[in-house]
Amino acid sequence: MPSLQEIASCVSGYDPNALPVAQAQEFIARFVPRVGAVEKVALRSALGRVLAADVVSPIDVPAHDNSAMDGYAIRGDDLAADGETRLVVAGTGFAGAQFDAVVPARHCVRIMTGAVMPPGLDTVVPQEFITRTPAAGPLDETHPPSPLPRQAGEGFIVVPPGVVRRGDNRRLKGEDLARGSAALARGRRIAPADLGLLASLGCAEVAVYRRLRVAFFSTGDELRSIGEPLDGGCVYDSNRYTIWGMLQRLGVDVLDLGVVRDEPAALEAAFRDAAANADAVITSGGVSVGEADHTKKIMATLGEVLFWRIAMRPGRPMAIGRVGNAVLFGLPGNPVAVMVTFYAFVRDALLQMAGASPQPLPLLRARCTAALRKKPGRTEYQRGIVTRGADGRWDVAITGSQGSGILRSMSEANGIVLLHHEQGNVAAGAEVDVIPFEGLV
Ligand code: AMP
Ligand code: MG
């Protein structure tokens, strides 16, 4: 496992005191290990888990050519070059009960959606296009007498010209997934559609990576837990609740170690406990310049840690390191900074550790309803409310104060306006990138 210093030397222009967001992300991606252990779970339990092996289709889906419509299966060769086509009805094919007798020329088979195409027939005429005559007997003097035994409901159909071409309304064997083809790739987080896809292959169990275990605690003498009296100068600990919520959405196992006082012995015990029981440890508070000394001393004995000042707002101070075998994410204490740094760095890191292949988040382009001041040289994450304008395009308004302690701004927002590192002031009406909260986690 490379040391933090070795990784730093691979990140071009690495400066821990003014680290651009993209470099911090690159550093973290190089640093975090993957858990690797694999377990088999029942299909439904696989929702949200990370696939540990490629799934190759063991069968063709669908297994046979079948009808996409309720109608009549015909032979494309029987369609008249011009004018209407008359065909004798030879019988009916239902989904799950196929019509497998040989169908003579100029005959058709009534067919339901999903029913297997009778041998030799290649086209389906939707029922709304045809007229059907129950009369038995020859259709016209040119039509040969039917070799089939007479059946109830038989008769003939008339297909008007031009309503179908050969091959229409037929689903081909293997068109969804051909046998032997890759259905899902390792590293995929299993979504509802994937559960259905796996079910269509008959997979009852799925190999997934084991769940990541993430421990977290808050640091600060001023923090009180819910239920405790709020002494003068104290605040309730909210970070353990936002962190818990964000971790739940990632599908990891969580270990809440509570509030830890700013005392070396208490902090050391908490780090030891967390590292012994988790793959990753998330702390909040205690990483700003004035407070980091505690943590630095403890980490010198327990592991290694880097203290960063990231070129971002909110969320400038952050620590990254290793305690025992666990990865440490030391987030700043301010409640908005905690959430922003979690989404900017921790989310993808945890997904990567869990074996997933994190993809860049989709961004929405929205018109900013007011001008924004922004200095080039740092990434800003402003909280925004996105609405649809009268012209159908997206507008975004910044929630009131952007102070990093104002958690209400996160709660009111439905997206984060992402002002990129090099970007400068934004004029009213100009488009900006927004990370929508919906679908983020
Ligand atoms: P720190 O990073 O420890 O200097 O904390 C920065 C600010 O965030 C201070 O105003 C803290 O009181 C506040 N803060 C730190 N941790 C929490 C927490 N867990 N819940 C709410 N506020 C916090
Ligand atoms: Mg503190």
Q: Which ligand is nearest to the CA of 314?
A: 1
Residue 311: its pLDDT value, please? Answer: 98
Q: Quick one: 392 exposed, middle or buried, by C-beta within 10 A (0-12, 13-18, 19+)?
A: exposed
Instruction: Judge whether residue 138 has pLDDT over 80.
Output: no
How many whole angstroms from 266 Cα to the centroid of ligand 2?
14
Q: Report the nearest-CA residue for atom 15 of ligand 1.
A: 333
Structure confidence by residue, pLDDT tens digits, 170-188:
999 999 999 999 999 999 9
How many whole angstroms from 411 Cα to the centroid of ligand 1?
18
379-388 and 394-398 strand pairing = antiparallel
What amino acid occupies position 340? V
Which residues surround ligand 1 with Cβ inside 6 Å?
Answer: 218, 220, 222-223, 235, 237-239, 284-286, 288, 291, 332-335, 405
What amino acid occupies position 56? V
Region 290-317 average pLDDT: 89
How many whole angstroms from 320 Cα to the centroid of ligand 1?
18
The helix (run of H) or strand (run of E) holding residue 362 is none
Residue 149: its pLDDT value, please? Answer: 53
Residue 2: its pLDDT value, please? Answer: 86
Q: Token pair for residue 318? A: 């952050």
Residue 100: its pLDDT value, please? Answer: 83
Ligand 1 atom nearest the C-alpha of 259 is 19
What amino acid occupies position 37? A
Mean pLDDT (the chain, rounded): 93
Q: What are the residues facing 156 on neighbouring strands?
A: 88, 133
Region 332-356 average pLDDT: 97
Q: Token pair for residue 268? A: 């050391």
Ligand 1 atom nearest the C-alpha of 317 is 2
Residue 401: its pLDDT value, please? Answer: 86
How many whole angstroms from 395 Cα to the centroid of ligand 1?
32
Rounded to the nearest 10 degrees, how much is the dihedral formed by the CA atoms of 9, 12, 18, 19?
Answer: -90
Ligand 1 atom nearest the C-alpha of 291 is 4
Structure confidence by residue, pLDDT tens digits, 231-289:
999 999 999 999 999 999 999 999 999 999 999 999 999 999 999 999 999 999 989 88
Instruction: Judge whether residue 342 has pLDDT over 70.
Output: yes
**Residue 152 binned pLDDT confidence (cut-offs 50, 70, 90):** very low
Ligand 1 atom nearest the C-alpha of 239 is 19
**Residue 144 binned pLDDT confidence (cut-offs 50, 70, 90):** low
Q: Which ligand is nearest to the CA of 333?
A: 1
How many whole angstroms from 221 Cα to the centroid of ligand 1?
10
The helix (run of H) or strand (run of E) holding residue 193 is helix 192-200
Q: Which ligand is nearest to the CA of 341?
A: 1
Which residue from 106, 83, 108, 88 is spatially nearest to 160, judged by alpha carbons? 83
Ligand 1 atom nearest the C-alpha of 287 is 2
How many whole angstroms from 59 Cα to the centroid of ligand 2?
58
**Residue 402 binned pLDDT confidence (cut-offs 50, 70, 90):** confident
Instruction: Judge whether residue 150 has pLDDT over 70.
Output: no
User: 252: how many CB neighbours lie within 10 A of its CB?
Assistant: 21
Residue 163: its pLDDT value, please? Answer: 96
Residue 147: its pLDDT value, please? Answer: 59
Per cent of the chain over pLDDT 70 is 95
**Residue 400 binned pLDDT confidence (cut-offs 50, 70, 90):** confident
Instruction: Judge whether residue 140 has pLDDT over 60.
Output: no
Checking 141-148 for CB contacts under 8 A at 24+ apart, the result is 143/86, 143/88, 143/106, 144/105, 144/106, 146/88, 146/90, 146/104, 146/107, 147/104, 148/88, 148/90, 148/91, 148/101, 148/104, 148/107
